[in-house]
Copies of this chain bind each other. A is one copy, B any other.
């Protein structure tokens, strides 16, 4: 596949002026390009490689890519070509998938919070599988997508993920059983359960408590007479942010082993990798805006990049996700820095409690690569906070 960049601001550098290319296709493209603003570069072949690895490991489970992780049209198109299914959070995401050639029956409407008009819109376009975790949501689905298949999202308490979830989504086990009955009363087709083990669950064994909890509810539902055919194991597939993770195929295979131990032959298993599919396929190219000290006595330098929490790096909130940084001076002496974004917002600080190591010689104008940023960056970007444009995205 050729590297295309006609629609973007990136301009090819004269190859004679840059150092010899690095190993990867992504790094070569970046090394040979100029960018006039922070830009996420996504390597579609790397997405494909990850899809194939996850698919091999997940075996009989169907991958429903979590579109919200990175909804770039080129990413969706590549995944459609590979046979992926899709987990959509909104009407907008469904429309995107359909426009890229996904079949309606391969798209699930996985948000438990939906506008009635969006349910009707999706139903009219052939979407038949919906998530719910409450009576009111089931009523909306029954009215606007009569007879649809629904799965009930469970809360499973877990504290082992790098980013444990709040109680925002799901309901407890007894409520879930009631909702299966209620769905039947509403002439919907309750097909099973979903849950989410927590974002960035680094090792397969961390799934055990959640799967155990889910299995108990599953059996209780069967004992109550419900025919369950869909087990949606959600996301949680990790990306590399500096702490060791298992390779995707082995990880997925291990998770599926745990699932099979507990659930045997379920007709249909869904998995919804998002971060685990695209994060490592992307690198953000940023620029150092300023290096300074607040006081001659300060131990740490402050380093300001041209990208921050409101222009793509929202997941640095609470210093939760720690991106790996690379500069052209990483062979020089390093020292700790507080890292911040470019806006006039005092909350726009990326890493302060745990400073990052950057070259002592770093200065304004130096390029900084932010690794494994293919997920949950571009669409978090604000429309124009402080007058800065949103993060640009280039797919190669």
Nearest Cβ in chain B — how far from A3, in angstroms? 24
Copies in the complex: 2
Contact A134 B293 (CB under 8 A): yes
Give the complex CA separation of A71 and B388 in angstroms: 12
Question: For residue A250, which residues in chain B have a CB less than 8 angstroms away from its CB?
Answer: none
Give the complex CA separation of A140 and B292 in angstroms: 13
Please report which residues of chain A, range 70-99, place their CB below 8 angstroms from some CB of chain B when the two chains form the complex: 71, 88-96
Nearest Cβ in chain B — how far from A390, in angstroms? 5
Question: For residue A292, which residues in chain B have a CB less than 8 angstroms away from its CB?
Answer: 133-137, 171
Q: Which residue on B lies nearest to A139, using beta carbons?
A: B364
Contact B387 A92 (CB under 8 A): yes
B-binding segment of A201-209, A221-229, A259-267, A344-352? A344-352
Contact A379 B382 (CB under 8 A): yes
Give the complex CA separation of A388 and B295 in angstroms: 43
Task: Tell me if A342 counts as interface (CB < 8 A to partner B).
Answer: yes
**Chain A residues bordering chain B, tally (CB within 8 A):** 81
Q: Which residue on B lies nearest to A167, using beta carbons?
A: B294
Partner of A88, one of B155, B289, B365, B387: B387
Task: Tell me if A46 counts as interface (CB < 8 A to partner B).
Answer: no
Contact B89 A343 (CB under 8 A): yes
Contact B383 A289 (CB under 8 A): no
Give the complex CA separation of A29 and B340 in angstroms: 41
Give the complex CA separation of A115 and B387 in angstroms: 13
Contacts A89-B344, A95-B387 known; list 7 others, CB within 8 Å.
A89-B386, A93-B387, A134-B290, A134-B291, A134-B293, A136-B290, A163-B346
